Amino acid sequence: MRSFRILSALLALASSIHADAGVDPNEAPDDVIELTSENFATVVTPAPLILVEFMAPWYASKFRRPFSFEL
């Protein structure tokens, strides 16, 4: 059973490395659309389901700090 787990892990690792081998991180995939204030409504409104990721470069530093809550 242990050898099956090791073999499964190695196969998963090998397939993930092979899948990423041809990807250029500087090139956006065809299914990624950069939304702007000009095209936001025309892209988002007609779609029945869409995933939008909002990102603000100036806000990234907030995630590097550990969260702390005080009551």
Considering just the CA atoms, what is the radius of gyration of the chain in Å?
A: 20
pTM: 0.37
Higher pLDDT, 70 or 45: 45
Q: In this structure, is the dihedral angle defined by the CA atoms of residues 57, 32, 16 and 23, taken in order, positive or negative?
A: negative
pLDDT of residue 19: 46
The pLDDT-based confidence of 28 (bands split at 50, 70, 90) is: low
Q: Is the pLDDT of residue 49 over 80?
A: yes
Split at pLDDT 50, 70, 90, the class of 35 is confident
55 neighbors 34 (Cβ within 8 angstroms)? no
Q: Which whole number is the average pLDDT over 57-71?
A: 63
